[in-house]
């Protein structure tokens, strides 16, 4: 799955903040492992959050 937006978080707090905001905005987690999580919205947009540390 190719993401429309990729976020490279520099620390755990930043990653959690982005994930929390995505979920508040209606994105659902569709794939995850610790280092990468992918969220998708009903309109087809996908966002990938990388823990880049």
Mean pLDDT in consecutive groups of 10 residues from the start of the chain, 53 residues: 88 97 97 93 94 90
Query: Helix (H) and strand (E) counts for the chain?
Result: 1, 4
Quote the pLDDT of residue 1: 62
pLDDT score of 34: 82
Of the candidates 27, 53, 25, 52, which has an alpha carbon nearest to the alpha carbon of residue 39? 27
Region 5-51: CATH code: 3.30.720
Q: In this structure, what token pair is assigned to residue 17? A: 């903040």
Which residues are within 8 A (CB) of 24 and not within 5 positions of it... i.e. 6 or more apart?
none
Contacts of 5 (CB under 8 A, 6+ apart): 45, 46, 47, 48
- To the question of pTM greater than 0.95 for the whole model, the response is no
Note the pLDDT of residue 2: 72
């Amino acid at each position: 799955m190719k993401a429309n937006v990729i976020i490279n978080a520099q620390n755990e707090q930043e990653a959690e903040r982005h994930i929390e905001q995505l979920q508040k905005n209606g994105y659902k987690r569709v794939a995850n492992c610790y280092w990468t999580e992918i969220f998708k919205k009903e309109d087809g947009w996908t966002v990938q959050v990388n823990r880049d540390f």
